[in-house]
């Protein structure tokens, strides 16, 4: 999810914290079939650094998609996920990479549709009550409107890559509640934000399951490594550039998403 317009004054309110750890490497195995990585900034690796020439899409060499490709040497790898993407962007600009011979598809999408970038802005700059209300608004949208949008994307994936294994990676909890942070957002705000992650997981997992796709729960993948946890934080707090705030860092992609993806994605030998 891309944070589009958080005011610079945010830095005075929230302590900036970023963790930049080197991703684990893996020895390449026998070449797998074609792999296509779709989605938003959580899929592109925004927040994990090393974006090469990907411009505003911020496709990171440390992203879970690139790490899986490095380890499994697919016969073709189309990395088209892009920071800020919503479901309509996937349909307009990304699904064209899918072909009948695609064997693995990964996707993280839906957070921007529900407006969680704006949620984080409002919660950082507003009161507890306004944060709770904005989260409730986003949750209502996710329950009522997001299923149809996800169905449109998933239908297109199924039609274009009918033989592919499709892995849908969900969003993590941002915060460890009652954790080690002494500054920053209130516990009320942190709980409201985590509640929105729960609603997203509920909606996305249900729609993925309806299509026979594999759902990876980001909450489980990042458990013990949220902001305010006692372990290494696998998510950035407020950082600069501002659009990398509240995104997985390199350690989150390697230890969280990539590890979880590797446990379920079964490369077929080309």
What pLDDT was estimated at residue 31? 60
Positions of E strands within 4-56? 34-39
Q: Is the pLDDT of residue 30 over 70?
A: no
Domain ranges of the chain: 34-263
Q: Residues 102-129: pLDDT tens digits?
A: 999 999 999 999 999 999 999 999 999 9
φ and ψ at residue 16, rounded to 5 degrees: -80, 130
Q: Is the pLDDT of residue 27 over 80?
A: no
- % of the chain beyond a pLDDT of 70: 87
Active site residues: 41, 247
Alpha-helical runs (H) found in the chain = 10-13, 41-44, 64-72, 87-89, 116-125, 128-144, 146-160, 187-210, 218-221, 250-251, 259-264
Which residues on neighbouring strands pair with residue 28, listed in sequence order?
none
164 Rama class: left (phi>0) / alpha (psi -120 to 50) / beta: beta
Q: Is the pLDDT of residue 269 over 70?
A: no
Contact 44, 58 (CB under 8 A): yes
Alpha-helical runs (H) found in 46-127 = 64-72, 87-89, 116-125
Contact 70, 26 (CB under 8 A): yes
CA distance linking residue 170 with residue 208, whole number of Å: 10
Q: Residues 215-267: pLDDT tens digits?
A: 999 999 999 999 999 989 999 999 989 999 999 999 999 999 999 999 999 76
Q: Which residues contact 149 (CB under 8 A, 6 or more apart)?
A: 86, 87, 88, 110, 113
Average pLDDT, the chain: 89
Q: Is the pLDDT of residue 173 over 70?
A: yes
CA distance linking residue 62 with residue 60, whole number of Å: 5
* Cα-only R_g, the chain: 17
Per-position b or e across 199-221, b if 16+ CB within 10 A of its CB: bbbebbbebbeeeebbbbbbbeb
Q: Is the pLDDT of residue 4 over 60?
A: no
* 28 confidence band (pLDDT: 50, 70, 90): very low
Superfamily of domain 34-263 in CATH is: SGNH hydrolase (3.40.50.1110)
Characterize the bridge pairing of strands 77-79 and 102-108.
unpaired
Q: Is the pLDDT of residue 14 over 60?
A: no
């Amino acid at each position: 999810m891309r944070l589009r317009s958080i005011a610079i004054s945010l830095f005075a309110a929230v302590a900036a914290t970023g963790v930049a750890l080197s991703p684990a490497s893996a020895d390449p195995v026998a070449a797998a079939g074609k792999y296509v990585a779709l989605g938003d900034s959580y899929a592109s690796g925004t927040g994990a650094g090393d974006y090469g020439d990907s411009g505003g899409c911020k496709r990171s060499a440390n992203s879970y998609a690139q790490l899986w490709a490095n380890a499994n040497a697919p016969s073709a790898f189309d990395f088209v996920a892009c920071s800020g993407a919503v479901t309509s962007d996937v349909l307009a600009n990304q699904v064209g990479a899918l072909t009948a011979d695609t064997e693995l598809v990964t996707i993280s999408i839906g957070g921007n549709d529900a407006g969680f970038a704006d949620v984080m802005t409002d919660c950082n700059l507003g009161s507890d009550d306004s944060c709770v209300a904005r989260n409730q608004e986003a949750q209502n949208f996710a329950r009522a409107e997001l299923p149809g949008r996800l169905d449109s994307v998933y239908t297109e994936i199924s039609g274009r890559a009918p033989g592919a294994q499709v892995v849908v990676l969900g969003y993590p909890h941002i915060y460890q509640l009652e954790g080690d942070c002494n500054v920053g957002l209130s516990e009320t705000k942190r709980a409201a934000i985590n509640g929105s992650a729960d609603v997203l997981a509920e909606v996305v997992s249900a729609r993925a399951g309806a299509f026979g796709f594999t759902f990876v729960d980001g909450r489980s993948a990042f458990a013990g490594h949220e902001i305010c946890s006692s372990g290494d934080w696998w998510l950035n707090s407020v950082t600069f550039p501002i659009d990398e705030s509240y995104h997985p860092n390199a350690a989150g992609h390697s230890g969280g998403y990539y590890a979880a993806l590797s446990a379920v994605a079964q490369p077929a030998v080309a």
